[in-house]
A and B are shown apart, each in its own frame.
Chain A
């Protein structure tokens, strides 16, 4: 439990630090820009203003970490071998969370799919993969949903609106 809290604390510190670092890097990249006053008119005060709020966010996370560690220690002392009634529900959570993470990963990969395969194969594969990841096993849905959705999208966007897009692989 303390390890989990510590890991989460590290992630919680990383997020504001990443935002602050991105802001500082952005400001630094424009420091020698031509017409600096105009280029930095908003960026400079915003980055300067970010610093106190970054520190406040870090302080907030530290206080939270200390509070959680204290309650974890208390819970460890008070713990009994009896099973928590919510434990089974908690144990089921990782599967849903894992599927969610895989679904997000699939969404990221499908962006590459659009470039490499073209819109139609990428859409078919994206929907099919999404359905499989989220646990759909009925063949009619696995075949029908990607096909019908892609066909409708193609008819609306390409045929009706005349939007130009790479539909199939260009190689």
Chain B
């Protein structure tokens, strides 16, 4: 399982005084940047890339991975406090986190997020460190048919957001799938770009995500005095954060299941941490009887945060083992490998195994630091709920506009943000779950290319046979059917997240 000589070499390479300030700095920077709505972890990494030129390869990669770790957690801060996921990875944290904040439990919810992030990363790191090689081999077993079934399985989550009625939820989800296909297709056709260069790559995820999830909530909050109605509950309280942190340890099974989902989905190319957190959230909702997930259940925050943090481990493992990026942040980190003369691919680990071990051992140090830095950031961020909404909302709108602009440096994205904000507000008002629309939009980016690959490889008529005869795709098909049967049987208990 381990190459102990290489493990020891990796451990000794961490005795570098520069790492003592690079890791905390990276964590803090990642958390603060991704706490700004619109600024994702990949953007945070891309912005500091030029500064890493002067560092050694190990220093640079550990610095960037610290930013990655900090940013995955940082996205949960605005998700809980403002109903605005700081990054797509925190989309599922919004479902329960903001509801808890509205009940005045924002400190506890943040504590839950810190605990789940730390435990998710820790378990994920142990899992990946022990199973680095098998995980990489398992990821290689996922061909287009298996990836297609991952997308289909994830689609069942749409049925769990019913809005006023199930047909409305599914209609919104299907429309989201159509939105996800906008842009230049594989057949080089310009689909619904309306002549705009900014739509060639499709609708950008961050403005759409913030527009659909955050702006309707922001518009709705303008009619209320404060985010937290009860004045006594508005105070930032470190003891309550600690209480939430310890509470998260009660949900060990949820953390373990979500970690496993996070590592596996993170290891799959292009699936990403947003899909991981949504799948973990849905799995928790389906697996626990009498839960209130979607309605302010602490386990929703725990599942989402454990999965998105552990997905970082899965994607880093596959990036190291195969040179395949699992998402935007790892793709940028691959660039850092090249800059420092390391060629990503299967030979990277075989020739520099100590390097891989050093990166994961550094993750343990980051886990230990995470609660302290998270509390430090929260000590400032939690004051947000004390600001009256009529002052806070115009400022948050302005910050979101700048954050959205930063990704592609175009005002066009601000238009998309506001446009989708208004669409999301109207849809919510009339009982359409915007989450279903968003999920469809995210999953279209997996489903369409994998459908094209699968049909190109096996043909239309052989595809069902391939699905039924390949063990992983068959297992995913069975899971999909079971999930749908469960949802149909319990449809009356589904929450109306509007």
**Interface, chain A (partner B; CB < 8 A):** 11-12, 15-16, 19-20, 22-23, 26, 29-30, 33-39, 41-43, 46-47, 49-50, 53-54, 56-57, 60, 96-97, 99-100, 103-104, 107-108, 110-111, 114-115, 119, 123, 126-127, 129-131, 134-136, 141, 145, 149-150, 153, 156-157, 161-166
Alpha-carbon gap, A127 to B401, bound state (A): 11
Alpha-carbon gap, A20 to B174, bound state (A): 10
Q: Which of B175, B391, B393, B402 contacts A23 (CB 8 A)?
A: B175
Interfacial chain A residues near B170, Cβ < 8 Å: 53
Interfacial chain B residues near A16, Cβ < 8 Å: 168, 171
Given contacts A56-B167, A57-B171, A135-B390, contact A149 B398 (CB under 8 A): yes
Query: In the assembled complex, how far is the CB of residue B70 from the closest CB belonging to chain A, in whole angstroms?
Result: 16
The stretch among B307-315, B409-417, B469-477 that forms the contact with chain A is B409-417
Interfacial chain B residues near A97, Cβ < 8 Å: 223
30 pairs, A vs B, C-beta closer than 8 Å? A15-B426, A19-B171, A19-B172, A23-B174, A23-B175, A26-B191, A34-B188, A35-B187, A37-B455, A41-B448, A41-B452, A41-B455, A46-B177, A50-B174, A50-B175, A57-B165, A57-B171, A100-B219, A110-B418, A111-B414, A114-B401, A127-B397, A129-B394, A131-B391, A134-B393, A145-B394, A145-B395, A149-B395, A153-B398, A164-B409
Given contacts A97-B223, A130-B394, contact A104 B425 (CB under 8 A): yes
Flag if A39 contacts B189 (CB, 8 Å).
yes
Given contacts A53-B167, A60-B164, A134-B393, contact A26 B192 (CB under 8 A): yes
Interfacial chain B residues near A156, Cβ < 8 Å: 36
- A47, A49, A53, A97, most chain B CB atoms within 10 A: A53
Query: In the assembled complex, how far is the CB of residue A91 from the closest CB belonging to chain B, in whole angstroms?
Result: 15
Alpha-carbon gap, A163 to B403, bound state (A): 10
Flag if B185 contacts A39 (CB, 8 Å).
yes
Interfacial chain A residues near B192, Cβ < 8 Å: 26, 29
CB contacts between A and B, total, < 8 Å: 172
Q: Which of B171, B389, B451 contacts A42 (CB 8 A)?
A: B451
Given contacts A111-B415, A149-B395, contact A103 B178 (CB under 8 A): no
Q: Which of B186, B187, B391, B402 contacts A145 (CB 8 A)?
A: B391
Alpha-carbon gap, A134 to B394, bound state (A): 9
Alpha-carbon gap, A15 to B187, bound state (A): 31
Interfacial chain A residues near B360, Cβ < 8 Å: none
Q: Which of B174, B191, B219 contacts A46 (CB 8 A)?
A: B174
Tell whether B381 is near chain A: CB-to-CB under 8 Å: no
Q: Which of A49, A108, A134 contacts B174 (CB 8 A)?
A: A49
Interfacial chain B residues near A126, Cβ < 8 Å: 394, 397-398, 401
- B36, B390, B418, B421, most chain A CB atoms within 10 A: B390
Flag if A26 contacts B178 (CB, 8 Å).
yes
Flag if B175 contacts A43 (CB, 8 Å).
no
Q: Which of A41, A107, A149 contacts B418 (CB 8 A)?
A: A107
